[in-house]
Structure 1
């Protein structure tokens, strides 16, 4: 290598380089066989990985071909010596010829390239000084030999290749990491899929076995269910029969006491016992005397715990009818609930399991209302066939039919003594019925639209009605006259209800508003917004502090009657809620809906 440099560098240049050690040139040869980059082996799991790695290798080969072509061109480029000699064997276009640099320019460019300004200044000073003295010969300051130019080109090429190699290494490492990550994720997904398939097969086998077991138990369960329903029905019938016997015994005792008093007063009578007996047997049923005064309300001075609205939860939902359930009612003493439906039937259910106890048929059209007798021995149903029917639990049959209304009957309500029944109808009237004779004793006229709801003021002789004419009226059953009228609703009044103390009326209308009325002051106490959907039914809890309203949006609106605020919604029904009631104990809330279900909440 040293001999090669001595053949091409002038003597003066050799001395300068030997003294200062400013420049060191080496000859380098590039070949296709040598490559400094060491490729690492990559594990391949499938054919797709091999194809991707082959593509990557082809990219590397294409990158290596570029510098090799440049080196080949440099090898074939004609040197200045060859151009001065005989004509070359082939013609090279002028645009591809490179003009050689003179020695001083070559040295200056080199010093500038490696950032040696002080050496450059020294060189320029000595160079121009020698030129001015004429000590530099023509052959010493000629063009730079080709070997130096070639070394410089090769050096630049090597640097470019190394830079390209470093970038390729970074790309390769990143691609390798990403590829390993993808392979790991693929293996994890394969393993997870296999586990899911195994678990699925196991679950399918278990489901098949469970279906076989259920099929084997179904006949036994059906038999047990039938026996249980029969036993529950007999149990409830026995309770009802007991209540009826107790009521009869009380009535007989009252009659005995009345007879004893009558006998004591008529001791001086000359009528013989035989004649008196005969005359008594020929007597017809006499009308029951309407109470002359209001009774004493036993709940007036009592305080009951209110329902915790925010803690109310659904206990059970049961589909009890084939059509919309229009009304629901609680038994006054026993854990029994009654429902009526548009399928023209009424049914009794046990609580809280909602087992069917009894059902009745007899109406010729939909049934809109149901009410229990205060002693719990009968129920009254009002229907679209213009009648009200009284049903006896023991015989499970209709004992009395009241049919003086000219249009469908919406609701009915018993007097607290159980001798009278009030009913409201679409014929704009409300009627008072004597249950002993089955006669209509009073007809209350005054509303100019359908009377949609009726209820007795607790332990009084007053009834309250809500009408489609947007008014609420209180009537005295003794005189048949309207005592008070409340105005304030802007749409049809659908339901009215008294608090247990009898001093407050709650009413709801088709605009979604609940209004509270003060009976003593004959004034509106508050208005509660229950939403934009119509409200169909309203009820007080036992404490009188909570109001529940059934809405057409499928929810039950719970409100505070003391602060007059809406508190919460009870959600669960899939259709409009038609009726809502609190049980006498204050533990449950019952609701009936057009989705053919009734629900218990606690």
Structure 2
């Protein structure tokens, strides 16, 4: 060890809850130990104490086990010299010493005083020298460890200072953010009464607006009916006065735009009552493998027992029901086909595809009559207006388009959704288009102005489909969380929610009586519910398919139920 005094710095941190920790440096003096200090006295005292304790332990009672004493023979001169030579590595000198020593000893030329034991002082000095060497090695090792520890301590101190500075900066930013949040909260609370008042006024205004609109549409429908009756009476009077002179109405010019629907007309289903179908007794009748890929949608012919199916294999097919003989098939799309609908007259079929197009197929010519390609992305669904003059389609490009089948052009583009529009349908015998979007909303649009009439909020995930009952007063929408919501169009309120399953619900449909609703889910099950009593248990139809059910639909007479699936089949239930 060195004779110099060593100094080290130590930092003691005192925690404080309100203020930051303060540093206090304490200096410690480390005194060196003199290597030349005589330790012999202490060693002799320790040896004497050890001998005393050893002797006392020997004088224990007889029952203690006997101790074995080991005697050490004193070292003689020649052994001392040999050990020294071996220690310092003088092998040649050792060999010469041994030969000469034994020669002299054999001849008796060595005196007795030269062959006695080595004096204790030499042995003691040798022992102390070995101990000093060992302690010196330990001191060198400790110096190396101390140097490494000092470097590590400096590194840790720098890291501590860095983290402490970072902590102070974070605390300052936290205090600043807390102050800003408190100020913003007070600011928000000052505006909250005004927001509540505006929200209440908005709800009242929207309700009054919808009631006024419904009353206006009712009056317009009555006026339209009276005008038609008046015109019919006028024509009959003219026919009686001038037989055969009644003029035929002029046909519209070819290629001219069709007249946009002016307003709602009398709904024939408004005054009709139908018995609900016995959905709880429906059973699986037949299963048909219709396509090479997933069957994404299906639609019934309005007057004939014909079913149309479309698939991800880019084809559409017509089937006779219930035998399901193939009547016709069509190819022309360049990507999957997702939507299908019959013309109200049953003369054409519309299909929408992932190739960004909507095609109208003519049964008489067995060919594609026209293709609408204005959408920028894949087209999910399409639906004909009850007049047959217009076709609505919805797309992944966030828009819904209104196509004129006379002029073969897009008459309206309905913009407002902020995500993919997944489903579209017409409110029966009206000029309103209903859409369901991936932005979790369901909207009603006026086809004449292209404006959104009403938006329904409440879904917590993307809306996959929307359906309207025959009377047009109730909407049903389903979402990716497996929930169905019913909406009252007249009062713009939510009627109730049905939790179908934990899997996404892909399609819903009403029966003619509007008292039963069927849901198709990704878990392969079909489930039926009573819309007039949402608290009632579901009507279990069972596991309909081996994979996700993509579409479900009643035939016009509610005698059959068709379901399509990702397992490439469609099934008939009755």
TM-score normalized by the length of structure 1: 0.53
Contact conserved, 2:464 with 2:479, CA < 8 A, in 1?
yes
Of the three residues 372, 380, 387, the one matched with 1:402 is 372
Q: What does the per-residue CA deviation read over 1:515-573, in whole Å, with 9 as the maximum and x for residues that have no partner?
A: 10000010100000101000001100111011011100011121111111423233231
Contact conserved, 2:390 with 2:403, CA < 8 A, in 1?
yes
Of the three residues 511, 514, 518, the one matched with 1:548 is 518
1: CA distance, partners of 2:417 / 2:497: 23
2: CA distance, partners of 1:394 / 1:318: 27
Contact conserved, 1:580 with 1:592, CA < 8 A, in 2?
yes
Report what 1:12 is aligned to.
none
Contact conserved, 1:432 with 1:441, CA < 8 A, in 2?
yes
2: CA distance, partners of 1:436 / 1:315: 41
* Structural mapping, 1:83-98, within 5 Å: none
- Higher-Rg structure is 1
Report what 2:558 is aligned to.
586
2: CA distance, partners of 1:408 / 1:485: 24
Q: What does the per-residue CA deviation read over 1:107-165, in whole Å, with 9 as the maximum and x for residues that have no partner?
A: xxxxxxxxxxxxxxxxxxxxxxxxxxxxxxxxxxxxxxxxxxxxxxxxxxxxxxxxxxx
Q: Point out the structure with the larger strand share.
A: 2
Of the three residues 353, 360, 370, the one matched with 1:390 is 360
Report what 1:417 is aligned to.
387
Corresponding position: 1:286 with 2:286: no
Root-mean-square deviation (CA, aligned residues, Å) is 2.1
Report what 1:296 is aligned to.
266
Of the three residues 482, 499, 518, the one matched with 1:512 is 482
Q: 1:284 Cα shift? A: 5.7
Question: Which is further off, 301-310 or 384-393?
Answer: 301-310
Q: What does the per-residue CA deviation read over 1:237-286, in whole Å, with 9 as the maximum and x for residues that have no partner?
A: xxxxxxxxxxxxxxxxx9xx9xx99xx9xx9xxxxxxxxx9xx99x6621
2: CA distance, partners of 1:539 / 1:472: 16
Q: For residue 334 of structure 1, give the secondary structure of its aligned residue in structure 2.
A: coil
Contact conserved, 2:300 with 2:342, CA < 8 A, in 1?
yes
Q: What does the per-residue CA deviation read over 1:393-446, in whole Å, with 9 as the maximum and x for residues that have no partner?
A: 122110010110000000001100100010000000001000011100000000
Q: 1:512 Cα shift? A: 0.3
Contact conserved, 1:388 with 1:401, CA < 8 A, in 2?
yes
1: CA distance, partners of 2:450 / 2:278: 40
2: CA distance, partners of 1:396 / 1:575: 33
1: CA distance, partners of 2:261 / 2:374: 23
Of the three residues 566, 570, 577, the one matched with 2:542 is 570
Q: For residue 371 of structure 1, give the secondary structure of its aligned residue in structure 2.
A: strand
Report what 1:331 is aligned to.
301
Report what 1:139 is aligned to.
none
* Structural mapping, 1:412-491, within 5 Å: 412-491=382-461
Corresponding position: 1:596 with 2:568: yes
Contact conserved, 1:558 with 1:570, CA < 8 A, in 2?
no
1: CA distance, partners of 2:364 / 2:257: 25
2: CA distance, partners of 1:524 / 1:569: 26
Q: What does the per-residue CA deviation read over 1:359-387, in whole Å, with 9 as the maximum and x for residues that have no partner?
A: 00000100001000011111100000000
1: CA distance, partners of 2:254 / 2:362: 22
Q: Alpha carbons of 1:375 and 1:570: their partners in 2 closer, same or farther (altered >3 Å)? A: farther
Q: What does the per-residue CA deviation read over 1:453-512, in whole Å, with 9 as the maximum and x for residues that have no partner?
A: 000000000010000000000000011100000000000000000011100000000000
Contact conserved, 2:282 with 2:541, CA < 8 A, in 1?
no
Q: For residue 317 of structure 2, give the secondary structure of its aligned residue in structure 1.
A: strand
* Structural mapping, 1:41-120, within 5 Å: none
2: CA distance, partners of 1:403 / 1:447: 20
Of the three residues 503, 513, 521, the one matched with 2:473 is 503
Q: Point out the structure with the larger helix share.
A: 1
Contact conserved, 1:408 with 1:425, CA < 8 A, in 2?
yes
Q: For residue 310 of structure 1, give the secondary structure of its aligned residue in structure 2.
A: helix
Of the three residues 472, 482, 498, the one matched with 1:528 is 498
Report what 2:282 is aligned to.
312
Q: For residue 575 of structure 1, give the secondary structure of its aligned residue in structure 2.
A: coil
Q: Alpha carbons of 1:529 and 1:394: their partners in 2 closer, same or farther (altered >3 Å)? A: same
Report what 1:66 is aligned to.
none
TM-score normalized by the length of structure 2: 0.56
> Is there any run of 5+ residues in structure 2 with no aligned partner, and where?
1-231
Q: For residue 418 of structure 2, give the secondary structure of its aligned residue in structure 1.
A: coil
Corresponding position: 1:557 with 2:492: no
1: CA distance, partners of 2:464 / 2:261: 29
Q: For residue 280 of structure 2, give the secondary structure of its aligned residue in structure 1.
A: helix
Contact conserved, 2:349 with 2:362, CA < 8 A, in 1?
yes
1: CA distance, partners of 2:476 / 2:322: 28
Would you identify which runs of 4 or more consecutive aligned residues in structure 1 move more than 3 Å? none
2: CA distance, partners of 1:284 / 1:320: 39
Count of residue pairs the alignment pairs up: 329
Contact conserved, 1:533 with 1:551, CA < 8 A, in 2?
yes
2: CA distance, partners of 1:344 / 1:372: 18
